[in-house]
Structure 1
Amino acid sequence: MERKQFLQTWLGAAAMLAFGETGVANTSPEKPFKIIAGKGRFGESFLYKGKNPNDIKISGKDTNGQLAMFEYTGYEKTGPSLHVHFHQDEIFYVTEGNYRFVVGEETIMMNPGDTIFLPRNVPHTWIQLTNKGKMVYFAQPAGKTEAFFRTMNNLKYAPTREEVDKIHETCGMKVIGPPLTL
């Protein structure tokens, strides 16, 4: 066996051992954990637009950056600006209320029990259509999603458009249009 082939075989075997059969590093927490309803993973509570709880339930720190899970409770008919994630796919599961999602060129109505997959690099947004709504959603890989919400939540003033754009850029996203309206 030539040296180059030997090294490639050895590196491949080492990668298989490190990442297991799935190709993902085996770094799960050693013990289970529970997050109480209405609480965030680290005792943090983020308020989206100052009113709507958006709590981290499973952190990227728990999954070696592979996944983050959030629970959003909306008390107003609002949603994010049209934006794109460059490094994360998102999955939303509606548990209460109704929503309208726009993903690329498609408009998709979402009701309790519905799930939607939002691929990275595809512009998307949503708006809550009912007075109250709730969704559980995932970012995969976790990326800087938590850092984005933490940064936005900790601002003590309304940021300028330039500041919002910079925060999005730092977290691997870009705002490309306004939020939806009713």
Structure 2
Amino acid sequence: MTGAYQSDPPPALFLAAGAAAAGEVHQLGISTLTFKVTTPNAADLFVLENDFRTGGGPPRHLHYDQEEWFYVLAGTFLFEVGLQRYALEPGASLLAPRGVPHVWACTGAGRILIAFLPAGKMEAFFRAVTARGGAPAMPPQEAALWRAHGMELLGPPLPLA
């Protein structure tokens, strides 16, 4: 058998249903973040599952270096990417390109899979915001915190009303 690898290929990453990579599950106020694919290499992929108990989402922002891909598992999510608006239901996906402002929110209970490529400082960002005592409903609107992790904070969360 021929392949692209000159030596042993890297091992596959298998996670059983409900499992987290390296057991990493973090609480972020109204939601639970389960790290699905983590990496020590900032150039690789980072994937998390975000499980919402109620409606809400992060503030409007952009990523300097990451593409951010969303795949809805349950519930309904509203998005604005650039000037376009979307309502995503289970099975729908959306890519927010790097450098394009975006904001999104779950309209109630729901689950979404989010992938970042490259991972950049996203793992560190989510560890930082969930490590704070009494974790807020969503990442705090502190411009310096976002900028330190390769993002620009641009405005408030998407209103649900």
Equivalent-residue separation in structure 1 for 2:70 and 2:130 (angstroms): 21
Aligned residue pairs total 153
The residue correspondences of 1:55-74 to structure 2 (distance < 5 A) are: 55-61=34-40, 65-74=43-52
Residues 71, 102 of structure 1: CA spacing in aligned structure 2 closer, same or farther, 3 A cutoff? same
Residues 96, 170 of structure 1: CA spacing in aligned structure 2 closer, same or farther, 3 A cutoff? same
- Residue number in structure 2 paired with 1:54: 33
Q: Percent same amino acid among aligned pairs?
A: 32
Q: CA RMSD in A?
A: 2.5
Larger strand share, 1 or 2: 2
- Residue number in structure 2 paired with 1:15: none
- Residue number in structure 1 paired with 2:142: 164
Equivalent-residue separation in structure 2 for 1:163 and 1:157 (angstroms): 15
Shift of 1:33: 3.0
Please tell me whether residue 133 in structure 1 is matched to residue 110 in structure 2: yes
- Residue number in structure 2 paired with 1:154: 131
Shift of 1:31: 1.9
Unaligned runs of 5+ in 1: 1-19, 21-25
- Higher mean alpha-carbon deviation, 132-141 vs 30-39, is at 30-39
1:133 is aligned with what amino acid? G
- Residue number in structure 2 paired with 1:16: none
Q: Residue by residue, what CA displacement relative to the aligned partner does 1:72-102 show, whole Å, maximum 9, x if unpaired?
A: 1111100000011001001101111111101
Equivalent-residue separation in structure 2 for 1:155 and 1:165 (angstroms): 16
2:22 is aligned with what amino acid? F
Q: 1:106 aligns with which of 67, 84, 89?
A: 84
1:107 is aligned with what amino acid? R
Shift of 1:162: 9.2
Computing the radius of gyration from Cα coordinates, the structure with the larger value is: 1
Q: Which has the higher contact order (CA 8 A, sep 6+)?
A: 2
SS at match of 1:93: strand
Contact 2:59-2:141 within 8 A present in 1 as well: no
Q: Give TM-score, length-normalised by structure 1.
A: 0.75
Contact 1:60-1:67 within 8 A present in 2 as well: yes
